[in-house]
Chains A and B, each alone.
Chain A
Amino acid sequence: MIFSSWQFAIFFVVVFGVYWAVPSRRFRHGLLLIASYVFYAAWNAKLLSIVVGLTLFDYGVGLALEQVKSDRRRKFLLIASLSANLGVLAVFKYADFFILSLRDLLAGTGIDTGWHALNILLPVGISFHTFQTMSYTIDVYRRRISACRSLVDFALFVAFFPQLVAGPIVKAVEFLPQLRNDKRFDWPRLDAAVVLFMVGLTKKLLIADQLASLVDPVFADPTHFTTRDLWLAMLCYGGQIYCDFSGYTDMAIATARLLGFDMCENFANPYLALSLSDFWRRWHISLSTWFRDYLYIPLGGSRAGPWRTGANLMITMLLAGLWHGASWTFVIWGAIHGSALIASKSFSRMTDGLPRRMRTITAWAATFLVVHVAWVFFRCQPVVAIGAAEAETTSAALHRALYFVQHLFVPATVDQPIWLMNKVPMMALLALMAVFHILDERRRRGSPPIRLPAPIAGVSYAAWIIALMVLSPENTNPFIYFQF
């Protein structure tokens, strides 16, 4: 049940209606919890037990952390909670990755293990809700927040359906206090949320899904495309992943707002970033702050000299890459970002002598280029060929990515290039994405929303709805971040 489906529309209308019809806060929380579990079970009822199991365990650990005084026992409880969450992740997300990597490593030394992939079904949203519960346990351990007493409230924090499957990764300190307030229906809030939902829907259906159908053939086999088309495909993939994920986030935030909840922003015009560290302050903000607060800073951050800072950055980015998926190409994507973050300080020193405007343009262009080249590795994942039992090898995927990147800069000689039919629509979609970027930036800078006269606004909204109806693709792709 994805936000852009009619199933979700019916589900949400029912939940929304019942939620605001009853005044009792406890009933509302119970309703949202049941709705969240139904939402998850619509995908896979059996794997809901993982969410429920981890919820019960971390709820218990949270209460115990408050009651236990001994530091050693508290540390033991923390380790138990982290082990449970990371253990579940290791089994469901990384087991095949470790097995196959070890198998290939041993095969390189002449040992044939005969191991095969276990093909364990990856539970949707597992990386998000485990990180959310880990942040809760760590914060209770650090005594930054007190443990949640209500099991229903805690379960709702873990499973709240707008952000359950692909974030934003909400911290307990941001979410749990909102459960203590009585919420009142608010028309202006509803207006803003509906518009935000439509923005998200437009990003997903009109841009991301359309771009996906255009770039998929290029990434599947880049050897048939010219250098110019490779550039276009790379830029379009950057547009696709941004619109897919930020579109999802807009819809998640809007859905939460319609129910009276506020969620943190997850994007802040990432493609306007002027450095890699600026990019990570603008892209998937909830994940980057999670890694900053719970990994980078505890590792020592930037306080222990340049070498240690570099190592901390690299460890953080490698793990951020691995967080996205169990594949070496994600690790390489993380390594590119880690290396670029380390190098970015030297780069800014190199451009010190340039005029200010030139320096800004150079910094923006370099950041934009690194981010997009790294997306090629992110996108070129090992795929399971039709009829094959296992995915292609990492080296095959890596070879594709390397070919792609190499021929961005070295003209590709293609005997019979496949003519990329959709260049004009691709560019139109990229322009539309740029418009969304500019509007987002206006909103971020606190500019008041454009207020058209009511009849013109009404006609514009109707035209927007018609455009969504007519131009949306027949089949909606799942959100990219659902696989993480």
Chain B
Amino acid sequence: MTENAGRRIILMASAALTLIGADALVRGMRAELTAYTVADYNRKPSVIANGPMPRIVLMGSSRAKYALVPDEFERATGRSAYNLGIAGSKVVEWITLSRALFKADRPDLVVVGINASEVRLDYSPTDAARNLFTLDDLFESCSHEGVSTSVIGAYLQSAAGPLCEVYHHRYELRMWAQERLGGVLPKHAQQARELRERVATPEPPSGYAHPWAQGEQLRSVEERLLNNVATVEAACVPLFSRDSPSMSRLAQLLDELRAGGIRAIVVYIPNCPRTEARWRDVEPQAINAIASVCRESGAPFVPCSQEEVSRTNRDFIEEVHVGLPLARTISRRAARQILALGLLPIETRHAVTKINDVPD
């Protein structure tokens, strides 16, 4: 063996041992590190999976998370309701979640809160692959959305993650270190501390927590626009096509729910007028297409047009997230529709509210 070959072997062995040691160290710290694990994709589903199945499940992205108020549905229908809105999720995620959660028990009704952004043409289900997909879901996604190296990569990273804990918990490690570097990086330490506190806060029983109800972010889009236009994020105009994979996925979701004996209603979650004006070339087409899919799948559709639910920029927290009063109005509107169409099976032990008792 030459001197160089010997050196190379020692070098690689010591590097490998260091990596193995670091991995073991991180495994030992797992409990401490999970204090920083955001896991939005697990928190709400685990509430449903581990508790009694709510009779009404409100599903969607962060738009639905803000806009669909379980109290309003409960008050109107007398059935328990849970907000399963998950920020960043789209139709693919909702399909995967509904398959996983509605296996043993199932709700009576699923309310799907949707927006043009969620049926955009250019969506690649990378987050779904990272957080929710099984291998079957991955193959299905390849056939629906096409083969995407980023989706496959996200799945592989997630599947192989536990093999290398340092990589798997890299975000948590950063936060853990940030909190301990408070002397040098006070703001970063605060950021990490806030994250840890947020993770430690249990999900509300209904899955719904609006910032306006908790005294946070009290300013509306209108107020922020008046103060400084640059601080209001302009929601990106989605690319839309009637033939996009997201549209066929929406039809698939509604068909699967129906096949599983679950009724569904689709509610369009509106944007603020500022965004509606910018999206005017796309949004009406998307609403028509969603309505058409709902018709074909036999699911009622609540379009929440300006005539049905009047709104101004003052009613929104951000361009795409509704404020609490508007959320209640949208929810009441949807609940009225549910009652009007008799979407819930009659249950004698619940005193179901008459339609006219539900305020507008």
Interface residues of A (CB under 8 A from B): 1, 5-7, 42, 187-188, 191, 221, 224, 385-387, 416, 421, 424-425, 454-459, 461-463, 465-466, 469-472, 474
B341 at the interface (CB under 8 A from A): no
Our pick among A1, A188, A462, A470 for the contact of B18 (Cβ within 8 Å) is: A462
Closest to A6 in B: B153
B162-206 interface with A by 8 A CB criterion? 164, 166-167, 170-171, 173-174, 184-185, 187-188
What's the Cα separation between A136 and B22 when bound, in Å?
51
- From B164, B185, B236, A425 is in contact (CB under 8 Å) with B185
Residues of A within 8 A of B217 (CB): none
Residue numbers in B under 8 Å from A463 (CB-CB): 18
B residues less than 8 Å from A470 (CB atoms): 166, 170, 173-174
Residue of B14, B153, B167, B279 most packed against chain A (CB within 10 A): B14
Q: B138 an interface residue at 8 Å Cβ cutoff?
A: no
Question: Told that A6-B156, A458-B15, A462-B19 touch, could you supply 18 new A-B pairs with CB distance under 8 A?
Answer: A224-B230, A386-B235, A386-B237, A387-B278, A424-B184, A454-B7, A456-B14, A458-B12, A458-B13, A458-B14, A458-B17, A459-B14, A462-B14, A465-B15, A469-B164, A470-B170, A471-B174, A474-B171
- A221 and B149 in contact, given A188-B4, A458-B10, A466-B19 (Cβ under 8 angstroms): no
Q: Mark B210-227, 1 if CB is under 8 A from A, else 0.
A: 000000000000000000
Interface check B8, CB cutoff 8 A: yes
In the complex where A6-B153, A469-B170, A474-B171 touch, is A458 in contact with B18 (Cβ < 8 A)?
A: yes
Chain A residues with Cβ below 8 Å from B14 are 454-459, 462
- CB nearest to A385 among chain B residues: B234
What interface size band does chain B fall in?
Answer: 35 or more
- In the complex the two chains form, is A424's CB within 8 Å of B185's CB? yes
Q: How far apart are B142's CB and chain A's nearest CB, in angstroms?
A: 15
Q: Is the interface of A mostly helix, strand, loop or mixed?
A: helix
Q: Which residues of A contact B228 (CB under 8 A)?
A: 416
Sorted from nearest, which 10 A-B pairs have the closest CB atoms? A458-B14, A462-B18, A454-B10, A458-B15, A387-B237, A458-B11, A462-B15, A455-B14, A454-B11, A470-B170
Q: What's the nearest-Cβ distance from chain A to residue B156, in Å?
A: 8
Measured between beta carbons, the chain A residues less than 8 angstroms from B157 are 6
- Cα of A309 to Cα of B333 in the assembled complex, Å: 76
Query: Closest residue of chain A to B2, judged by CB?
Result: A187
A5 cross-chain contacts in B, Cβ below 8 A: 153
Find chain B residues with CB under 8 A from A7 CB.
149, 153
Q: Judge whether B11 and A461 touch: CB under 8 Å.
A: yes
- Measured between alpha carbons, how far is A266 from B187 in the docked complex, in Å? 39
Say which residue of B15, B173, B184 sits within 8 Å of A461 (CB atoms).
Answer: B15
Complex CA gap A455/B8 in Å reads 10
> Judging by beta carbons under 8 Å apart, are B10 and A421 in contact?
no
Contacts A7-B153, A387-B234; A455 near B19 (Cβ below 8 A): no
Residues of the B chain whose Cβ atoms lie less than 8 Å from the Cβ of A424: 184-185
In angstroms, Cα B170 to Cα A152, docked, is 44
Closest chain A residue to B9 by CB distance?
A454
CB distance from B122 to the nearest CB of A (A): 14
Residues of the A chain whose Cβ atoms lie less than 8 Å from the Cβ of B278: 387
Q: Which residues of B contact A465 (CB under 8 A)?
A: 15, 19
Interface centre among B5, B8, B15 (most CB of A within 10 A): B15
Chain A, Cβ-Cβ closest to B6: A454
7 intermolecular pairs with C-beta atoms under 8 Å apart: A188-B4, A421-B188, A424-B184, A458-B11, A458-B15, A462-B17, A466-B19
Q: Are B15 and A459 in contact (CB under 8 A)?
A: yes
Q: Provide the residues of chain A in CB contact with B170, threshold 8 Å.
A: 469-470, 472
CA distance A195 to B318 in the complex (A): 47
In the assembled complex, the Cα of A454 lies from the Cα of B9 at a distance in Å of 9
Rounded to whole angstroms, the CA-CA distance of A470 and B185 in the bound complex is 18
